[in-house]
Amino acid sequence: MKFSGNLSRAILSTLLGSSLLVGCGGSDGGSDPTPTPPLPPTPGPTAVSQMALWLTAPSDASTRFFKSPQALNFGSAAGQNPTIAVDTTQTYQTIDGFGYTLTGGSAQLLNQMSAPTRAALLKELFATDGSNIGTSYLRVSIGASDLDARVFTYDDAAQPDPTLAQFSIAPDRVNLIPVLKEILAINPNIKILGSPWTAPTWMKTNNSYIGGSLKAEYYPVYAQYFVKYLQAMQAEGIRLDAVTLQNEPLHGGNEPSMVMTAAEQATFIRDFVGPAFRTAGLATKIILYDHNLDHPEYPLTILRDPEASQYVDGSAFHLYDGTISTMSQVRNAFPSKNVYFTEQWVDGRSNNFAGDFGWHVNNLIIGATRNWSKNVLEWNLASDQNFGPHTPGGCSTCLGAVTINGNTVTRNVATTR
């Protein structure tokens, strides 16, 4: 877990494995003055060998995720700066990982680099030794997201294909699967989450990639679509830890997109996806919702349905609307179910590194984990100098964690925390 700030708030990277030690003094920058869960008491001394100092200075472009040779000697409190306390006697949720969405466009840019340059960049991003970032969680799109060069699903048949005879993950074999295999060779323990932006158009009420809903008669077919996808990825040596069933189910205006109400998702899980996964022997977790924190009633409605809830691991959130503390509201209502933070963009037009850096650290790296999140995922891993690739109606200003222009790489806000 890495805490980042300016020269007066140096970041501490705690090299303590996968258990999150929530023991950080100071405000999380959100709207709630009291963090959730409550902070533990002041701890005793912690072994120096467990701690390393990494520094990002938002006002100094030369200091980005810089590992300091300075030794961390713990002793009596001194100075006026905020204190980060690490208490090894108290733990809260375990952390699955921190990372990004490896969009199809991100994979395309990476795959177009020269092999040596790509290998060096992937090592920097995914290697887990002491000198690299050690990204530990990725989200991928099931079919195209809006940050693919074109829209596609895995069964774009001209006519309804209820047997899924034309199902194929061939579009992902061009860029996404080769890049994922390179990443897995570097970090075989990385967790991967899959999220669809739309079902095939012939399954939808409007026969379009944009908007519309899943037709009731295709619920069992779409459940098998998920099963076939997970099995096809496993055949490639890529195991997905979890899936959400619809990216941003309350937003039908993206390209691609699909609307799925809470009642529809409950039915889909309870009667189709959950039983289909169980029959197929799939251990892949099912995670609800995958949308903004201003509608906690969506996941709560499904979690209150015991027949649906039995198949559900937890709920996923974005922060384009709402407050980060709502994650605790959902988690505390159902403590046996996990919460996840799966997406937040950086606006490429802002030109405000310091402001974006501070907001993301306060609200995501600190805020989400203080509110029980098992992961923190930024949006797209890579974009080009023009914020592409993207679909014609997709996000045209999404700044990647890295900007890739041929073999030239610029490291942005999301790679310096």
Catalytic residue numbers?
248, 343
SS3 content of the chain, % helix, strand, coil (to 5): 30, 20, 50
On the 0-12 / 13-18 / 19+ scale of CB atoms within 10 A, 168 is middle
Token digits for 203? 């399954």
Centre a 10 Å sphere on the Cβ of residue 149 and count the other Cβ atoms it contains. 15
Residue 343: closest CA among 103, 19, 175: 103
Listed residue (247, 99, 65, 105) closest to 183, CA to CA: 99
How is residue 283 annotated by DSSP? -
Beta-sheet strand order (sheet of 408-411): 382-383, 402-405, 408-411
Name the amino acid, one letter, at 299: P
Look at residues 137, 146, 65 and name the one whose alpha carbon lies nearest to residue 106: 146
3-state secondary structure of 364: helix
341 and 377 Cβ atoms separated by less than 8 Å: yes
How far is Cα 215 from Cα 235, in angstroms, rounded to an integer?
29
